[in-house]
């Protein structure tokens, strides 16, 4: 499956191809007019290579499409910022990642959160968060500031109790079962999830592992109002801002919501996982 970031690159390239064709230029002719190697034109049009602002101006000038320069520059920058590597973002440590997202959280009124293998940061305990941070430090070879990063994450949790914010969390059952830290850490974390259900502006649904098609996705995602979707991979984050794509994520979220357990049924499933952990602890 092509990633949203690659799709955006390909859409940008397709737009440039149409501009070239409208000017009745071949790829080689455009390359000659701009002084580029002809393969550059092909790479750009197929989403394999980006263009600088100067390159965009040269392309449009050669195609007699100067009126499109500014809009293309805006689109190109949106494509560039859509995909950001974790290692580059966190080169000074994970705490910075926790802090830079504060303004987005402050202005968002409705959070729709789907996690499929771990508990979301807004619901994490200190011990669980520290273990999670340690994993990313090791995996990506980052500066080890897990304690400071966890402190920043926990401080941000005040948003659950302050301001006019609403939260809908959809957690796959696996998120309750993924072992992060010791059994004691997991028990504490499950208790935190149960307790968070009591907050008046928080709704927590659990998607059973037995749920069928439409109830699960290949990746986690967060929807911030109707303005932004964040999709996280092992190595990067994608920021999706196109209205039509956001609508798809909202539709999928609603489908998963219908499959999720809420209220007493959700609590009972969490308690079942908790009891299994206690049994493991007693026999270990």
The pLDDT-based confidence of 240 (bands split at 50, 70, 90) is confident
Q: What is the pLDDT of residues 154-204, one digit of tens each?
A: 999 999 999 999 999 999 999 999 999 999 999 999 999 999 999 999 999
User: Where in the chain are the domains?
Assistant: 4-83, 90-283
Residue 258 has pLDDT above 50, yes or no: yes
User: What superfamily in CATH does domain 90-283 come from?
Assistant: Endonuclease Chain A (3.30.870.10)
Q: In CATH, what is the architecture of 4-83? A: Orthogonal Bundle (1.10)
User: How much is the pTM?
Assistant: 0.74
Cβ contact 31:38 at 8 Å: yes
Q: How far apart are CA 83 and CA 103, in angstroms?
A: 19
Q: How far apart are CA 44 and CA 131, in angstroms?
A: 42
Residue 105's Cα: distance from chain center in Å?
A: 14
Residue 1 has pLDDT above 60, yes or no: no
Q: Which two tokens stand for residue 277?
A: 């952990």
Q: What is the pLDDT of residue 255?
A: 94
Q: How far apart are CA 84 and CA 32, in angstroms?
A: 33
Q: What is the pLDDT of residues 48-93, one digit of tens each?
A: 898 999 999 999 999 999 999 998 988 888 777 665 655 666 677 8
Instruction: Tell me whether the CATH fold assigned to 4-83 matches the one assigned to 90-283.
Output: no
């Amino acid at each position: 499956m092509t990633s949203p970031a690659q799709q955006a690159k390909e859409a940008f390239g397709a737009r440039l191809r149409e501009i070239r064709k409208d000017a009745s230029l071949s790829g080689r002719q455009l390359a000659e007019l701009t002084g580029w190697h002809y393969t550059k034109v092909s790479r750009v049009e197929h989403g394999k290579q980006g263009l600088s602002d100067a390159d965009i101006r040269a392309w449009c000038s050669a195609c007699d499409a100067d009126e499109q320069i500014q809009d293309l520059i805006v689109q190109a920058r949106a494509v560039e910022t859509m995909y950001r590597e974790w290692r580059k973002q966190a080169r000074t440590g994970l705490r910075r990642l926790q802090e830079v997202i504060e303004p987005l959280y402050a202005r968002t009124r409705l959070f729709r959160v789907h996690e499929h293998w771990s508990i979301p940061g807004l619901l994490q305990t200190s011990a669980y968060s520290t273990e999670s941070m340690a994993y990313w430090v090791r995996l990506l070879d980052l500066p080890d500031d897990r304690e400071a990063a966890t402190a920043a994450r926990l401080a941000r949790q005040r948003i659950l109790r302050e301001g006019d914010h609403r939260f809908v969390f959809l957690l796959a059952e696996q998120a309750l079962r993924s072992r992060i830290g010791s059994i004691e850490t997991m028990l504490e974390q499950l208790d935190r999830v149960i307790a968070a259900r009591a907050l008046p502006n928080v709704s927590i649904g659990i998607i059973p592992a037995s749920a069928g098609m439409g109830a699960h996705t290949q990746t986690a995602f967060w929807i911030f109002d109707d303005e932004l979707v964040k999709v996280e991979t092992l190595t990067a984050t994608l920021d999706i801002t196109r209205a039509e794509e956001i609508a798809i994520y909202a539709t999928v979220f609603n489908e998963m919501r219908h499959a999720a357990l809420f209220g007493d049924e959700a609590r009972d499933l969490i308690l079942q996982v908790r009891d299994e952990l206690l049994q493991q602890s007693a026999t270990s």
